[in-house]
């Protein structure tokens, strides 16, 4: 089992740093965010299984030729009041690490889910009290707030899309239709569950640099997926203008005026040309556009909409998906062969 421990350890190290860094810096995920999201899930799952499996294989290596035999010997030894032959401090430490890490990740996932669900119910209750329904729009609520805000509150029994008065005054009918379609996409595709999984990973391992990188990358991919859905009902420029208007409008009330509309329109053109010339723009600093997260990158989404991008070819898509499948299968295959 030492060989299996080494293989899984090497895979865990690769999936903990170089592989996610390469994926986060790649340009192609914006062309096919759904494929990139599948790959991020595979990296996270395979990385976690590899870390735990490596520790488990090393810890059980003195007790048997495979994991099943090692676990059986460990159980027999513990009943006899011993740790088993060859079990020294490093092996015991590895077993404890595997147990603690697996338990920590699982409990943190459950805690993150229940905490988010409790906050969502409290928020939904407050929104019901403090907002008005949008006429002829089931599930839409309007809050009396000057800044342009749009976000969704998902739920198993009841969901809501919250819009502010400032947003309704700022956007045109087409822009508002794109915003609403974007929010509906979040609800239909259950993006909150995707975000919860990576938020749980980050909160469980806050000292792990790649966990934060993965959470940010996945959040942006989720927004791009919802943008793609909104592009079916409005054109790219209309959606990009809405993104710029809301993102800028959250930073200054003047953006809600006609002058603000003109500035935002120029910002769209500037971001598009910036994408071609390599210019970079910072994220919005206030409530996220069309999202329940606290921050999101507005500029990459605008650049993506205003720059012609060809989706990944079928062969590239198949290769990426096969890579994701291989990443998930490999740790399990190594553990079974250990």
Q: Report the 3 state secondary structure along 29-61.
A: HHCCHHHHHHHHHHHHHHHHHHHHHHHHHHHHH
Contact at 8 Å (CB) between 163 and 151? no
Selection from 221, 158, 214, 220 nearest residue 187 by Cα: 158
| DSSP per-residue codes, 296-323 | --SHHHHHHHHS--PPPPHHHHHHHHHH
Q: Per residue in 67-97, pLDDT tens?
A: 999 999 999 999 998 988 889 999 999 999 9
pTM for this predicted structure? 0.86
Q: CB under 8 Å to 4, separation ≥6 — which residues?
A: 53, 57, 334, 335, 337, 338
Alpha-carbon separation of residue 279 from 155, 220, 286, 299 (angstroms): 39, 19, 22, 10
Contact at 8 Å (CB) between 225 and 35? no
Contact at 8 Å (CB) between 323 and 39? yes
Tokens for 53? 């499996």
User: Across the beta sheet with 131-133, what order do the strands follow?
Assistant: 131-133, 140-143, 160-164, 150-153
pLDDT < 50 regions, the chain = 252-260, 263-264, 267, 271-295
The per-residue pLDDT for 273 is 45
Q: Helical H runs in the chain?
A: 2-16, 18-25, 33-60, 67-79, 89-130, 165-170, 173-188, 191-204, 209-230, 236-249, 258-277, 299-306, 314-337
Selection from 191, 264, 183, 198 nearest residue 222 by Cα: 191
Contact at 8 Å (CB) between 139 and 160? yes
The DSSP H or E segment spanning 160 is strand 160-164
Tokens for 310? 């060809």
Q: Per residue in 28-39, pLDDT tens?
A: 999 999 999 999
Contact at 8 Å (CB) between 147 and 164? yes
Give the residue carrying structure tokens 């599930």: 139
The DSSP H or E segment spanning 161 is strand 160-164
Contact at 8 Å (CB) between 154 and 187? yes
> Residue 131 has what DSSP assignment?
E
The per-residue pLDDT for 324 is 98
Contact at 8 Å (CB) between 209 and 244? no
Nearest-angstrom CA–CA distance, 290 and 301: 12
End-to-end CA distance of the chain: 5
The per-residue pLDDT for 295 is 45
Selection from 261, 264, 253 nearest residue 145 by Cα: 253
């Amino acid at each position: 089992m030492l060989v299996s421990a080494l293989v899984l350890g090497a895979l865990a190290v690769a999936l903990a740093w170089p592989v996610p860094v390469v994926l986060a810096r790649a340009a192609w995920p914006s062309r096919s965010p759904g494929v990139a999201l599948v790959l991020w899930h595979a990296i996270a799952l395979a990385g976690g299984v590899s870390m735990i499996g490596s520790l488990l294989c090393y810890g059980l290596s003195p007790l048997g030729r495979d994991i099943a035999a090692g676990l059986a010997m460990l159980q027999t030894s513990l009943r006899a009041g011993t740790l088993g032959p060859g079990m020294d401090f490093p092996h015991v430490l590895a077993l404890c690490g595997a147990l603690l890490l697996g338990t920590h990740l699982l409990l943190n996932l459950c805690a993150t889910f229940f905490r988010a669900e409790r906050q969502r119910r409290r928020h939904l209750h407050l929104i019901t009290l403090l907002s008005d329904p949008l006429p002829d729009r089931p599930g839409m609520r309007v809050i009396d707030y000057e800044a342009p805000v749009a976000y969704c509150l998902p739920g198993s029994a009841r969901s809501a899309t919250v819009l502010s008065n400032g947003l309704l005054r700022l956007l045109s009918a087409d822009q508002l239709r794109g915003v609403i379609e974007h929010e509906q996409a979040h609800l239909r595709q259950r993006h909150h569950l995707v975000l919860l999984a990576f938020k749980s990973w980050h909160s469980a391992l806050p000292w792990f640099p790649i966990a934060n990188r993965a959470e940010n990358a996945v959040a942006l991919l989720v927004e791009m997926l919802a943008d793609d859905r909104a592009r079916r009902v409005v054109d790219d420029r209309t959606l990009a203008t809405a993104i710029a208007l809301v993102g800028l409008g959250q930073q200054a009330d003047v953006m809600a005026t006609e002058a603000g509309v003109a500035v935002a329109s120029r910002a769209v053109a500037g971001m598009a040309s910036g994408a071609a010339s390599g210019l970079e723009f910072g994220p919005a600093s206030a409530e996220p556009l069309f999202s329940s997260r606290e921050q999101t990158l507005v500029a990459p989404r605008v650049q993506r909409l205003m720059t012609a991008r060809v989706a990944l070819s079928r062969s590239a898509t198949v290769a990426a998906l096969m890579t994701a499948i291989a990443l998930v299968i490999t740790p399990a295959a190594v553990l079974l062969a250990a």
